[in-house]
Copies of this chain bind each other. A is one copy, B any other.
């Protein structure tokens, strides 16, 4: 989580080579670290980060903001398949910072004051190669620059990777109130694609439904509304969806599958219910349904750095134009413990927590 915490005011050092040690050292900074896996509230500690000499080809970055994502929590818990080495791992993986100082031999087109994000997202306590920093526009709210890489990019990529969608087509998703879900609705609408959205039954569902409709959702159903045989009768004039996004599993995945058209594809990118996906064999044989998975990290690691940066620029462009938005709470780093509790769901349903440094 709070990766940014990695660098409390004033700076985070992202260094490449240490061959020529300069006399410039990083300003005092703090990091949220963990030395063993476990419950985040127990294993995380806010610590002073040791000062680092700025090498000729190093870039020193002052972190501005960074979110606490579910995958950060899973890394800290030790249940994520790719994790930073222990001890001394930094909690968190995406965020935005500002270039503070540049070593004299840095060739990347960066200047002090530029906004940069780690691309692919990851924080090392002290250093990261300058080629892993992507410059982003600084005329958007910092919480968007801090969060563009994980959730909005997942939404955009999933809309492109699995099924060729044309204007007028429809998709279906569960977990539609998540940031990915909100982005899917808006990105689909921008391309003329209809969205059918499934949300949980809980206090505030009606309000959540209205919010998603304001973002452009065509239909929003609570799970309890779909406890019927022929859910497709609810589609009205909408076409049967060719593609579905599942981030919940269990019953919510089964409900999604009922909507898919012959030959449709369901992509699983999360498992919030911690329940498996269960599919009658007839769906495979007679409905020709395909089930796939999406993991942003796998895609990013497959030599897609350039595509990735282009897509982040596109997404932040939409944010700048007011065409892409989602709920976040920007919270001072001093209140890290509260933000962590909120991110862990201990205060009920809360918007995405983004630390400000």
Q: Which residue of B lies closest to A290 (CB)?
A: B292
CB pair A291 B294 closer than 8 Å? no
Contact A277 B281 (CB under 8 A): yes
> Could you say which of A286, A290, A291, A298 has the most chain B C-beta atoms within 10 Å of its C-beta?
A291
Binary per-residue interface labels of chain A (254-276) against chain B in the complex, 1 for a CB within 8 Å, 0 otherwise? 00000000000001111100001
Question: Assuming A268-B281, A280-B276, is B249 touching A81 (CB within 8 A)?
Answer: no
A334 adjacent to chain B (CB < 8 Å): no
Q: Is the CB of B298 within 8 A of A293?
A: no
Q: Is A287 an interface residue (CB 8 A)?
A: yes
Mask: chain A, 287-322; 1 = CB below 8 Å from B; 0 = not: 111111111001000000000000000000000000
**Is A42 an interface residue, CB under 8 A from the partner?**
no
Question: With the chains together, A295 CA to B262 CA distance in Å?
Answer: 13
Q: Are B293 and A284 in contact (CB under 8 A)?
A: yes
**Beta-carbon contact of B292 and A268 below 8 Å:** no
Chain B hits for A288, CB < 8 A = 293, 295, 298
Q: Which residues of B lie under 8 Å from residue A81 when comparing CB positions?
A: 282, 286
Asked if A105 lies at the interface with its beta carbon under 8 angstroms from chain B, I say no
Quote the shortest CB–CB distance from A308 to chain B (angstroms): 18
Q: A289-B293, A291-B291 are in contact. Are A277 and B270 (CB under 8 A)?
A: no
List residues of chain B with CB within 8 A of the CB of A284. Answer: 267-269, 277, 291-294
- The copy count of this chain in the complex is 2
Q: Please tell me if the beta carbons of B282 and A271 are within 8 angstroms of each other in the complex.
A: yes
Of B271, B285, B298, the residue contacting A271 (CB under 8 A) is: B285
Q: Would you call A276 and B286 a contact (CB within 8 A)?
A: no
Which residues of B sit under 8 angstroms from A279, Cβ to Cβ? Answer: 276-279, 291
Q: Name the distance in Å between A13's Cβ and chain B's nearest Cβ.
A: 31
Sorting the interface of chain A by its residue count into under 10, 10 to 19, 20 to 34 or 35 or more gives: 20 to 34
Chain B residues closer than 8 Å to A326, beta-carbon distance: none
| A291, B281: Cα distance in complex, Å | 11
Q: How far is the CB of A286 from chain B (nearest CB, A)?
A: 5
In the complex formed, the residue of B with least CB distance to A271 is B281
Tell me the minimal C-beta distance from A329 to chain B in angstroms: 26
Chain B residues near A221 (CB-CB < 8 A) = none
Residue A283 is within 8 A (CB to CB) of chain B in the complex: yes
Residues of B within 8 A of A246 (CB): 281
The answer to whether A295 touches B286, judged by C-beta atoms less than 8 angstroms apart, is yes
In whole angstroms, what is the CA distance A270 to B267 when docked? Answer: 22
How far is A232 from B79 in the complex, measured between Cα atoms in Å?
21
Query: In the complex the two chains form, what is the Cα distance from A280 to B270 in whole Å?
Result: 10
A276 neighbours in B (Cβ, 8 Å): 278-281
| Chain A residues near B (Cβ < 8 Å) | 81, 246, 249, 267-271, 276-295, 298
Which 5 pairs of residues, A with B, have the shortest CB-CB distance?
Answer: A284-B293, A271-B281, A291-B291, A268-B284, A81-B286
Known contacts A281-B293, A287-B293, A290-B292; can you find 15 more A-B pairs with CB under 8 A?
A: A81-B282, A246-B281, A268-B281, A269-B284, A271-B282, A276-B280, A277-B280, A283-B293, A284-B291, A285-B293, A288-B293, A288-B298, A290-B290, A290-B291, A290-B293
What are 20 contact pairs spanning A and B, CB under 8 A? A81-B282, A81-B286, A246-B281, A267-B284, A268-B284, A269-B285, A270-B285, A271-B281, A276-B279, A276-B280, A276-B281, A277-B278, A277-B279, A277-B280, A277-B281, A277-B284, A288-B295, A290-B291, A290-B292, A291-B291
